[in-house]
Amino acid sequence: MEKLKKIIGSCLLFLTIHASGQDLHFSQYFNAPLLVNPANTGFNPDYRYRIGGNYRTQWANVGTPYNTMSLWGDSRVLEDRFENGWLGIGGSILKDVAGSGSLSKTGAYGSIAYHQMLGYNSLLSGGFSLGYVQNTIDISKLNFDNQWNGKFFDMTIPSNEPFAYNQVGYLDLNIGLNYAYFASDNVYINAGISLMHANRPQESFFSSSVIDNRLNRRYTAFVNASIKIQDLWIVNPNIYVSKMGASWETVLGVNANRNLSGDGEQQLIVGFYYRNHDALIPMIGYQLNDLKFTVNYDATVSTLGSLNGTRGAYELSIVKSGVFTSISNVIKCPTVKF
């Protein structure tokens, strides 16, 4: 079984190098807003700023775990320069380590968005982000099929793979739109679309004469809603759909905040999601004032579950929102809150 896992782990890493699949992602996509859509930059109607972090580890039972991390932050600015509008500025750092450090991706992005109130009940946002991404690989740690001698991987056998580089970097451009409708103090709906890798950057450790491996554009759409029920619960249904090349990802489900203290300062968070043909995702968390912690567990329901014991991924998210006490002209939107 361990031999089989090693072979599968090597195959997964090799497919990561060769194939066009989905980008780095989190099950709690709504807690990684700048990664999903640059128009989310500064889209935080009740607050002036927020900072967050995400950590995900997966495939622990199939070789060395794959770890994905992000740090991000954004803020509303220039609210006194526009009539019922503002700019959002932000930045994010992403890092993904595949297997035993063989394949690593690090990206740093800056993003900007403009948000305009349309009357008293609607908000339209548009934004873009530009970043630099660097991929590195330690080829000496990789095993290939023609190095299998029938008993073990023999590293003295040439791999015959046409690697030209162990490090590549590129610029990455992303654009997006958001629309929010504040139906009442008890109902709020938000939808967005984005186009990631709009410039289709080259991403390959092979020479361009061997393969022209440009990133496919990723198209993403989501719909979120918040519904307050009797000042005890705020129910948040979500659906997220992403397409990159021939790969689709759909995540749908619901989370809910339970008012524990009567004034909303302490909240219990529970949720359940489903990633199509992949995983069941229970979630739990706690919010104290403006600081929120949430964790989830991805239970694999695909055919990979027989190899990883249904252990897909663990994920942690931390988000802190706030206002600057010296600033009083924050544009208020009628969002749902306790």
Per-residue pLDDT for 86 more than 90?
A: yes
Specify which residues 242 forms β-bridges with.
220, 249
Predicted local confidence at residue 9, as pLDDT: 46
CA distances from 118 to 41, 83, 84, 121, 317 (A): 18, 11, 8, 7, 32
Assigned token pair, 254: 């619901």
Q: Which amino acid is at 123?
A: L
- Asked if residues 142 and 14 have their Cβ atoms less than 8 Å apart, the reply is yes
State the pLDDT confidence band at 95, using cuts at 50, 70 and 90.
Answer: very high
Per-residue pLDDT for 140 more than 70?
A: no
List of residues 6+ apart from 7 with CB closer than 8 A: 148
Q: What is the pTM of this model?
A: 0.83
Predicted local confidence at residue 13, as pLDDT: 46
Per-residue pLDDT for 268 more than 70?
A: yes
The larger pLDDT score, comparing residue 120 to residue 257, is at: 257
Q: 202: which DSSP letter?
A: B
Dihedral angle sign, alpha carbons of residues 158, 163, 165, 169: negative
Assigned token pair, 83: 């009539």
Predicted local confidence at residue 330, as pLDDT: 58
Task: Report pLDDT digits (tens) over 1-60.
Answer: 444 444 444 444 444 444 444 577 799 999 999 999 999 999 987 789 999 999 999 876
Calpha distance 1→4 (Å, rounded): 5
Calpha distance 89→190 (Å, rounded): 20
Per-residue pLDDT for 276 more than 70?
A: yes
Calpha distance 72→42 (Å, rounded): 12
Domain-wise residue ranges, the chain: 2-322
The larger pLDDT score, comparing residue 267 to residue 60, is at: 267
Predicted local confidence at residue 209, as pLDDT: 65
Q: 186: which DSSP letter?
A: T
The larger pLDDT score, comparing residue 115 to residue 58, is at: 115
What percent of the chain stands above pLDDT 70? Answer: 77
Calpha distance 326→338 (Å, rounded): 24
Per-residue pLDDT for 101 more than 60?
A: no
State the pLDDT confidence band at 166, using cuts at 50, 70 and 90.
Answer: confident
Where does residue 81 rank: exposed (0-12), middle (13-18), buried (19+ CB within 10 A)? exposed
- Computed over every residue of the chain, the mean pLDDT equals 84
Task: Report pLDDT digits (tens) over 287-311.
Answer: 999 999 999 999 988 776 566 566 6
Predicted local confidence at residue 19, as pLDDT: 41
Predicted local confidence at residue 295, as pLDDT: 98
DSSP string, 249-279: EEEEEEEEEEESSSSSSEEEEEEEEEETTTE
Q: Report whether CATH 3.40.50.10860 matches the domain 2-322.
A: no
Where does residue 292 rank: exposed (0-12), middle (13-18), buried (19+ CB within 10 A)? buried
The larger pLDDT score, comparing residue 51 to residue 143, is at: 51
State the pLDDT confidence band at 81, using cuts at 50, 70 and 90.
Answer: confident
